[in-house]
Amino acid sequence: MPYSDQPTVTASGVKIPLLGFGTWQLEPDDARRMVREALRIGYRHIDTAWIYKNEKAVGDGIADAVAEGIVTRDDIFVTTKIWVEHFHRDALLRQAEESALSLGLTPDLLLLHWPKPAPALAETIGALNEAKDKGFTKNIGLSNFPSALFREAASLSSAPLITNQIEYHPYLSQKTLIETARELGSSITAWSPLAQGKIANDAVIGDIASAHGKTNGQITLRWIIQQGIAAIPRTTKESRAAENFGIFDFELSADEMARISALAHPDGRIGDWLDEAFEWDQDA
């Protein structure tokens, strides 16, 4: 099944599958095994990064699935990221080429992993565009960029920035960033969509889950993708990957969506590695 046949969000004409499989913190053996298994289950969106040190394993997992006839390359959407130490032009181009070689394919999307005050954003965005022009990636985007930087990056980029990958889950609003992405014709991709397991015992989510015969995790992922936001949960367990994929056979009501959104609070952020030169959007 091509990824375009799955529920997708479209940004500047590019379709991104709403449910992806993340590989953050996966050791190479687990990454290879789980990527292959995720593709067997039906995932068509795979996320990795240079700093995860598993790009080759991710590529090997994809190659395994292709060799077994589970997918073709054109069936899947693959994202990787440029690490902050490689933001100067020459270093960025070297890493972009290295990532493509490690994956054994041209990624569909190459992101800047976190914003950094130096070098100047114009140099980094220019190099990111050059990486696309050189064929090291099909599309470009950002990760963890607050709205002000998101707007600046978009103004500096010749090619559209098709997503901003950020922490997003029921305990963190991100309302401003979501609105900014839509205004710019971009999209949002949610990392740690299950709040690193914190949603598992949430009573509000649990009540909604009971009404649908689903798990808390399935309800949370449904809440995210029903907003037109992509989610990239990760796991080392085949059974959990299959469970997470079981979110396309039901819908949440407007009231249920609102109840989950109301769980957000100002100190809901879990992973804050933003450089002190920048500030997050202040959402309630």
Angle at 25 between CA 221 and CA 117, to 5 degrees: 90
Residue with tokens 């529920």: 7
Q: Chain centroid to CA 253: how far? A: 25
113 labeled binding residue: yes
How do 230-231 and 14-17 pair as beta strands?
Answer: unpaired
Query: Could you give the count of Cα atoms lying within 13 Å of 57 in the half-sphere of its Cβ?
Result: 19
**Chain mean position to CA 215:** 22
Exactly one of 3, 43, 52, 171 is catalytic; which is it?
52
Q: Respond yes or no: is residue 171 known to be catalytic.
A: no
Helix (H) or strand (E) holding 277: none
Q: Which two tokens stand for residue 109?
A: 């999307």
Among residues 61, 69, 72, which one has the least CA distance to residue 31?
61
Could you give the CA distance from residue 76 to residue 60 in angstroms, rounded to a whole number?
A: 14
Following DSSP, what letter does each residue of 190-226 receive, concatenated? Answer: EESTTGGGGGGG-HHHHHHHHHHT--HHHHHHHHHHT
Element (H, E) at 125: helix 121-133
3 state DSSP class of 147: helix
Name the residues annotated as catalytic.
52
Binding residues for substrate: 113
